[in-house]
Structure 1
Amino acid sequence: MADPNPIDLQKALSGINYPAEKSALVERARQNKADDAIVSRLDGLKEQSYDGPDQVQKAVFSG
């Protein structure tokens, strides 16, 4: 399984309204049939509200 990339992440979160909690990000990714690697990365984020896609991307790819 390849590592997720920023484009795949944004596709996985298509249609989400920000700010969004971690649980909403994971649910949206599942609804959009995202790859398991993306869902796993989102599920590993800190429990907090994310203000926008840039903040989510930074959290996912910076660890």
Structure 2
Amino acid sequence: MSTAPNPIDLQKHLGGVDYPANKADLIKAARDHNASKDIVEALEAMPDRQYDGPNAVSEAVTKR
């Protein structure tokens, strides 16, 4: 299993996301911002739910 992406890098690739956002919205935003494979995979591994903000996303990614 790969390590969780750096939270700063993660948030750089999620710039412009309107929260609350669901998992699919976050993955699309990351891909639109040319996120690395590790970041996209980390987002794909998160629970499928609504996220209230960047901190909730970072927390979900690090709990994998």
Q: TM-score, normalised by structure 2?
A: 0.91
Structure 1's unaligned 5+ residue stretches are none
Match of 1:21 in 2: 22
Structure 1 pair 34–45 and aligned structure 2 pair: CA distance change class (3 A):
same
Match of 2:41 in 1: 40
Query: Is the CA contact (8 Å cut-off) linking 2:4 and 2:62 kept in structure 1?
Result: no
Q: TM-score, normalised by structure 1?
A: 0.92
The one-letter code matched in structure 1 to 2:8 is I
Structure 1 pair 46–3 and aligned structure 2 pair: CA distance change class (3 A):
closer
Structure 1 pair 40–19 and aligned structure 2 pair: CA distance change class (3 A):
same
How many Å apart are 1:3 and its aligned residue? 5.2
Q: Percent identity?
A: 44
Structure 2's unaligned 5+ residue stretches are none
Aligned Cα root-mean-square deviation (Å): 1.6
Structure 1 pair 62–2 and aligned structure 2 pair: CA distance change class (3 A):
closer
Match of 2:8 in 1: 7
Give runs of ≥4 in structure 1 deviating > 6 Å: none
